[in-house]
Amino acid sequence: MKKLLIAAVVGALSSTLLVTAESASAETSSTTTKKPAAKAKAPQPRRLFKRKPNPVKEAKVDPIPEGSQKWTCKEGLSFDMKGDMKRDQIVTVHWANKNYQLPREATTTGADRFHDAASGLDMVVIPTKAMLFSDKEGERLADECKTAAMMQGAPAATQSNALDKTQ
């Protein structure tokens, strides 16, 4: 199928170039003064098939979960999180118009980590800030993320902070 499509495109392009070359040579031979030949535009490939919408590639916008808390990050970025980091095993993060269910991951550092292997979204929360990472892109998506309370000087409501207060 691909070879047939390529052959059709090559045939269409070569016939258009042949017609434009013949008409250009006919113009130059009929006139006595030589004019610089105009550059022929490259022919645009014609679409053989009409594009069907792909629901997977179309942008899906999830609503922001009710009762979520807004985290404001550096560079004007932000995300919303629903859930209690002190006790919940799964939190919902609304990032880039999508909702992600992030299960808690055990850590040895005392940071709260919520990671979804399927989507590659990873959220790490330490007492002073939160960070969003993408496993698939291998980069930090958002840094220095804080809630309104954290901007006033309160530490993040993490599980490790809750344990420190009970001891």
Q: What is the pLDDT along the chain (167 residues), one digit of tens a residue?
A: 667 667 666 666 665 544 455 555 555 555 555 666 666 666 666 666 666 666 555 567 889 999 999 999 999 999 999 999 889 999 999 999 999 999 999 999 889 999 999 999 999 999 999 999 999 888 999 999 999 999 999 998 887 655 555 44
* pLDDT score for 121: 96
Helices assigned H by DSSP within the chain:
2-30, 148-151, 159-166
Q: Tell me the Ramachandran region of residue 85: left when phi exceeds 0, alpha when psi lies from -120 to 50, beta otherwise.
A: alpha
**CA 71 – CA 114 distance, rounded (Å):** 15
**CA 16 – CA 148 distance, rounded (Å):** 64
- Cα of 111 vs its chain's centroid, Å: 27
